[in-house]
Amino acid sequence: MPHGDTTGPFTKTEGWLDWYDGPSAPAFTLPEGAVDAHCHVFGPGAQFPYAPERKYTPCDASAEQLFALRDHLGFERNIIVQATCHGADNSALVDALNRSEGRARGVATVRRDVTDEQLKALHEAGVRGVRFNFVKRLVDRIPTDSLDEIVAKIAPLGWHVVIYFEAADLPELYDFFSSIPTDVVVDHMGRPDVTKDPNGPEFGLFLRFLRENPNVWTKVSCPERLSVTGPRALPEEIPNGEHIMYSDVVPFARRVVEEFPDRVLWGTDWPHPNLKDHMPDDGLLVDYIPQIATTAERQRKLLVDNPRRLYWND
Ligand code: 0GY
């Protein structure tokens, strides 16, 4: 059942897919202390207006709704990532962090003129990173010029940098990304084209990027965004009746989890901005995890140890 929520005084982008209300209970039991390391809040627009420069107007998705999902799925904590529809106004993010009772950390968007006082206030609210978006459809300007300046301001706070880019752009950006001195987290494995060979040159370059830069981590999230075949398995791909979801993404994500078990994170990406094709049931998305992290140890690192080390210094 789609949520069908309103979006305050705003009109949703035409064709917008609302997040799914009433997700199923996952069959996979998350390890104790699991962190949903990539999710967003949208507005509510009446209280936290969407940014004038936004590229989409979403369906509202509040902090309360996010925390209800967290509890339903069995996560203990969240990493809330500033969504581009809020620009560099982090008010909705900070409000959500303040209501989380210490169970959420944040990744903000800031401009190059951000002051040390503003950064200190964000730190106190629980922000531990800044996101730079290199996906052209989501921003007016690719932030190459502001990144160095902002990194110089956030590095003393021990924050990291989150980068979002598409695989086709990695060759051009490889040296620039390799020069970032802080920890770096890549969203959604750098958006591989999953119709290509996971052992081929394009994904090979991403694996090389991780191998050559021990400060680089990645989220192995968003199969629903990367998949071409979709959530259902083809009958011939179901060994012993086992249901495989997003089977075209699995070899990419599993490869990364197996080679870099200490530098991977996973998140739902709720409320799933800009999906065009289908809106996932978040309960079923959790059931995807054991397909890519196939042992209890890998699952614990992916869901508990890694995010807690990066965001809570545990
Ligand atoms: C994601 C992916 C997308 C959007 C955003 O902040 C955003 O607007 O991140 C996307 O459209 O691919 O990670 O949520």
Residue pLDDT, tens place only, 16-41: 999 999 999 999 999 999 999 999 99
pLDDT 10s digits, 31-89: 999 999 999 999 999 999 999 999 999 999 999 999 999 999 999 999 999 999 999 99
CA dist 296 and 28 (Å) reads 11
CA dist 217 and 259 (Å) reads 12
Could you say which of 3.30.450.40, 3.40.640.10, 3.20.20.140, 3.90.1150.10 is the CATH number of the domain covering 36-311?
3.20.20.140
CA dist 111 and 63 (Å) reads 24
pTM, entire model = 0.95
What confidence score (pLDDT) does residue 187 get?
A: 98
CA dist 184 and 61 (Å) reads 27
User: Which of 107, 109, 22, 18 has its CA nearest to residue 57?
Assistant: 18
* Ligand 1 nearest atom to the CA of residue 274, by list position: 11
113 and 135 Cβ atoms separated by less than 8 Å: no
189 and 219 Cβ atoms separated by less than 8 Å: yes
Q: How confident is the model at residue 1 (pLDDT cuts 50, 70, 90)?
A: very low
Flag whether pLDDT at 239 surpasses 90.
no
* Ligand 1 nearest atom to the CA of residue 221, by list position: 13
Domain boundaries, the chain: 36-311
DSSP 3-state of 37? strand
Ligand 1 mutation target, pool 265, 274, 275, 279, most atoms within 8 A of CB: 274
Flag whether pLDDT at 186 surpasses 70.
yes
Q: Is 268 in the pocket of ligand 1 (CB under 6 A)?
A: no
Q: Is 109 in the pocket of ligand 1 (CB under 6 A)?
A: no
What confidence score (pLDDT) does residue 11 get?
A: 93
Q: What percent of the chain has pLDDT over 70?
A: 94
What confidence score (pLDDT) does residue 231 get?
A: 85
